[in-house]
Structure 1
Amino acid sequence: MADALLGPAEIRELAARLGVAPTKKLGQNFLHDPNTIRRIVNAAGLRPDDVALEVGPGLGSLTLGLVGAVAHVHAVEIDPKLAAALPATVTAPHLTVHPADAMRVKAADFDPAPTMLVANLPYNVAVPVVLSLLAELPTLRGGLVMVQKEVADRLTAGPGSKVYGVPSVKLAWYAEAKPAGKVPPAVFWPVPNVDSGLVAFTCRTPPMGDIDRSQVFAVVDAAFAQRRKTLRAALAGWAGGPDRAEKVLVAAGISPQARGESLTVGQFAAIAAAAKLSGVGGKLSASGKQPEEVDS
């Protein structure tokens, strides 16, 4: 390791020296347990030649663990004060700090290109950050992220599960994900009122890669916007009517009476492919929902 890992006393001393107080707005809960850091680094399955991408390094706890395990670390930090202080805490020549919003970074911002995403993600933006980075960085081969336990359950849920939904399907488009353990609140400062969970994922070629991702995601959003309804009804707004939705579903080999929570990502892709062949499919509004949708 380039520097010793940070414990509770070091975290508080560093924060005081920098005049930093964790903010709820940025979802800041600083990790201060060296054993948890080692556990994350080990569970990530990193190789010595990997280029790790860390989002929200904060005071540098996990960053210190990563620089000793990979060839290069990119740390994306939205808080300018923390971004400026990180190189003094993690004195490694193979660390690049990016003072930026992880939702706005581009592949061209990173040299060398990231191969693994390893991060303790802010709870309030965890899902959009993961999906945005997977869409933007095709060089990623996998990763391990720590998120709120409830979010971890959703991201790794399979069809038929009560918590299977939009995040589950969209992550499955990019990768095979699995739970990698629970993390207690006591290893953070300040202590959150929920458990955290680790999600490990391995990237793969999307199912039916000739179908545009946005077309598949439009079907997913429509199906789960009214998840208690049958797909024939839930996809009516997207397809231009329940009869047209039924025609597409039958063409895709899926029962019109099925519900979105029972479908795999491959089946959602099959619906998008059938819709493309028959010229069916609405456009998403700026909010990410079909203009005709109502919650029910």
Structure 2
Amino acid sequence: MPKIRAEKKSRQHGAVQKQGINFKTQIGQHILKNPMIVTSMVEKAALRPTDIVLEIGPGTGNMTVKMLEKVKRVIACEVDPRMVAELQKRVQGTPIQSKLQVMVGDVLKTDLPFFDVCVANLPYQISSPIVFKLLLHRPFFRCAVLMFQHEFAQRLVAKPGDKLYCRLSINTQLLARVDHLMKVGKNNFRPPPKVESSVVRIEPRNPPPAINFKEWDGLVRICFARKNKTLGASFRQSKVLDMLEKNYKIHCSIHNIPLPPGFSVKSKIEQILDKHNFEKKRARSMDIDDFLGLLHCMNEEGIHFA
């Protein structure tokens, strides 16, 4: 008889089954299993005994337990009831049980409580919305130490001229100081994700810049839609001009400013860009001060983006 090959067993699959949990990778369940990485993330957060820590996606609680030993309270936000049960079972009957507070539900649809520090191995598909949910949260928190997909982390810290420099980069850096802490390989997770990961530290600017963030984001969105084009080309698009003309007419109506005969928003925009030497600039090489200057010039002339 032909020899029958034994079915190859996956060590990772065996470990998951041994725990009795099938992780849902479609919602980003990749549990950080390397205790050295867990310890390093907790240390980078510089936790204090009086701190209240927000953890998003605690999973089976590898990082949660480490933090509970160091802080006043950990608020763990988890969408999967199975993970909630696993986490509660892990601390049940221990001295740290009373310091754990669990919030069950989607963190993006939940009002965040007060916290001092956020530490999390995030589901990667919610990376961008959770960054801005945290940065726009009040009162201010001290810092966040977060695990992201490596390329997303690179975008957060990218500087003008970098290949990955984008709207995400400048919006985040406007509101916070962002530092890349360490790269984390796939095999530090169970089950391993398809991408490399990185840990980033985000420290909100307090006080925040004195600008209307919706206005700022409206301007940056136009400029980075084609970041390699000149600003002159970006602002000549018909959809952009239609939106700015509508906003300008509202501005004039509110402030009782008569529209001059034959008014052209295209000509007005071109005059502003040319007067302040922005016509030939490109978003890919402009820093925060450049965009603040452009926003100020536009607003002074009644051009608004929100």
Q: TM-score, normalised by structure 1?
A: 0.81
Q: Does 1:245 align with 2:249?
A: no
Runs of 4 or more above 6 Å deviation: 8-11
Q: Compare 46-55 and 233-242 and name the one that shifted more.
A: 233-242
Return the alpha-carbon distance in structure 2 between the equivalents of residues 221 and 64 of structure 1.
41
* Corresponding letter in the other structure for 2:103: H
The equivalent residue for 1:257 is: 280
Map 1:1-296 onto structure 2 (within 5 A): 12=16, 15-16=19-20, 20-91=21-92, 92=96, 93-107=98-112, 110=113, 113-205=114-206, 208-209=209-210, 211-236=211-236, 237=240, 239-240=244-245, 242-249=266-273, 253=276, 255-283=278-306
Return the alpha-carbon distance in structure 1 between the equivalents of residues 206 and 281 of structure 2.
26
Unmatched segments (≥5 aa) in structure 1: 1-7, 284-296
Distance 1:264 1:27, change over 3 A: same
Q: Give the superposition deviation at 1:97.
A: 0.9
Q: Compare 37-46 and 63-72 and name the one that shifted more.
A: 63-72
Return the alpha-carbon distance in structure 2 between the equivalents of residues 265 and 246 of structure 1.
21
In structure 2, the residue corresponding to 1:25 is in which secondary structure?
helix
Indicate if the aligned counterparts of 2:278 and 2:294 stay in contact, CA closer than 8 A: no
Q: Give the superposition deviation at 1:187.
A: 1.0
Q: Compare 129-138 and 158-167 and name the one that shifted more.
A: 129-138
Distance 1:193 1:143, change over 3 A: same
Distance 1:9 1:229, change over 3 A: closer
Distance 1:21 1:13, change over 3 A: closer
The equivalent residue for 1:291 is: none
The equivalent residue for 1:5 is: none
The equivalent residue for 2:256 is: none
Return the alpha-carbon distance in structure 2 between the equivalents of residues 81 and 197 of structure 1.
27
Q: Give the superposition deviation at 1:169.
A: 1.1
Q: TM-score, normalised by structure 2?
A: 0.79
Return the alpha-carbon distance in structure 1 between the equivalents of residues 233 and 47 of structure 2.
45
Indicate if the aligned counterparts of 2:214 and 2:305 stay in contact, CA closer than 8 A: no
* Residues paired across the two proteins, number: 267
Q: Give the superposition deviation at 1:9.
A: 11
Unmatched segments (≥5 aa) in structure 2: 1-11, 246-264
Higher gyration radius (CA): 2
Distance 1:254 1:168, change over 3 A: farther
The equivalent residue for 1:293 is: none
Q: Give the superposition deviation at 1:189.
A: 0.7
